[in-house]
Structure 1
Amino acid sequence: MNVIWRTLLVMWNARRRLRKEGRLASTEVGRVRVTTLPTDLDVLRHMNNGRYLSLFDLGRWDLLVRTGMSGAMKRHGWYAVVSSETVTFRKSLELWQRFDVESRLLGHDDKAIYLEHRAVVDGEIYAKAIVRARMLKRSGGTLSHQELFAAIGRPEGLPDVEQWVHEWAAASALPPTRADAPSTWS
């Protein structure tokens, strides 16, 4: 439950920073300062591997608010869902350790937006995640990039998504929701 309070606090701070500092360019890196709490730990007394993804959501919320995307999404009844994500761990985060969640938009393809999140301590990467998110409409259906960019502007200077990210997305994809997806083990 503590992640909901952290999320609300991050969103409040992001709105305050948006008013004070202006929009964050979509190619810039967003940073959120986080502390490892007792509720983030596993039985080995370091941050639980699943908690990283929950805390990386904080960086995503900060980025959505500070780039102005969340305002457009709310006005138009759009929302984002994570369709795939992968995380790689390098070092453990310990109790009460402060770290930054760094987040940036990697780019997009015809169906999804790609982001990168990092857990960083004193400039050193402890963990990194790649996230593939799809934009949907509350009224039903998928939001096209043309609609999205018409509302928020096309990000200038956005690099092409690296080939390995496309390969990862294809390799980790499941069948569409309307297709059969039986659980059979080979």
Structure 2
Amino acid sequence: MYPFFRLLTTIRKAKKAPSLPAHAVSENSFRCMPWDLDLFMEMNNGRVLTLYDLGRFTLSIQTGLAKVLKDNSWGLVVAGSTTRYRKRVRMFDAVTMYTQVVAMDERWIYIIQSMWVKGEPTSSILLRTAITEKGKMIDTERVRKAMGQKGWDPQPEGWVKAWIDSEDSRPWPPLEKTVTD
């Protein structure tokens, strides 16, 4: 079930939090609850992805992107991601999540997020996202202008650039079935 209560709490907290510049790191804190667990008594990987959604909501509210999206009837979509899980999140663990835009190009906004328990990273995700208008992607320059961030243009570097390059070589559409000999 979708965590509607957490969604409402996240939005309320983000609206009360100080505004952030577009390049800043936003922070969310929450506790792993019994309904977040899988059969192995750790946070379900699907729930991890859902909670990362809430972190992006916080970032968009604090940076003013949410207002720009609403004012222009724009949408925010995820077009790709890679997730790394490294430590289990157990019931009642206090979790801190960090979210930041790390790069942009003409079409895509790249966001990195991580979850931490007791000062140790548990997972991280890199996302390729886009802003849409009437179901079609719009240029990131248009988004920057709408946000008043004309000079801000973080370019992909390092492993983020390598991931982008590897995604560009990934076949699409995917194979219907894989045959091995």
Normalization by structure 2: what TM-score? 0.88
Q: In the aligned structure 1, how far is the partner of 2:94 from the partner of 2:73?
A: 35
How many residues of Structure 1 are paired with residues of Structure 2 in the alignment?
177
| Residue 166 of structure 2 is aligned to residue 171 of structure 1 | yes
Change in Cα spacing, 1:174 to 1:153, as seen in structure 2 (3 Å) is farther
Show the 5 A alignment for 1:94-113: 94-113=90-109
Query: How far apart, CA to CA, are the structure 1 residues paired with 2:118 and 2:21?
Result: 24
Amino acid at match of 1:4: F
Distance 2:135 2:2 in 1: 31
SS in 2 for 1:149: helix
Alignment partners' CA distance in 2, 1:155 and 1:31: 25
CA contact (8 A) 1:102 1:118 kept: yes
Retained in 2: the 8 A contact 1:102–1:119? yes
Aligned to 1:146: 141
Name stretches of at least 5 consecutive residues in structure 2 with no aligned partner.
Answer: none
For 1:150 and 1:144, locate their aligned partners in 2 and report how far apart those are by CA, in whole Å. 10
CA distance in 1 between partners of 2:174 and 2:127 (Å)? 22
> Secondary structure at the residue paired with 1:84?
strand
Matches of 2:171 and 2:51, distance apart in 1: 25
> What is the CA distance between 1:163 and its match in structure 2?
3.9
Deviates more, 1:153-162 or 1:111-120: 153-162
The offset of 1:146, in angstroms, is: 2.0
Aligned mates of 1:84, 1:54 — CA distance in 2: 15
Q: Which residue of 2 aligns with 1:13?
A: 13
Matched, 1:125 2:121: yes
2:38 corresponds, among 27, 37, 42, to 42
Could you give the per-residue CA deviations for residues 101-134 of structure 1, whole angstroms, max 9, x where no partner exists?
1111101112210111111123321111111111
| SS of residue in 1 equivalent to 2:42 | coil
Structure-1 residue corresponding to 2:157: 162
Moved more, 104-113 or 65-74: 104-113
Inter-partner Cα distance in structure 1 for 2:171 and 2:66:
27
Identity percentage of aligned residues: 26
How many angstroms does 1:174 deviate by? 5.8
Partner of 1:185: 178
Distance 1:184 1:101 in 2: 37
- Say whether the 8 Å CA contact 2:106–2:141 is kept in structure 1: no
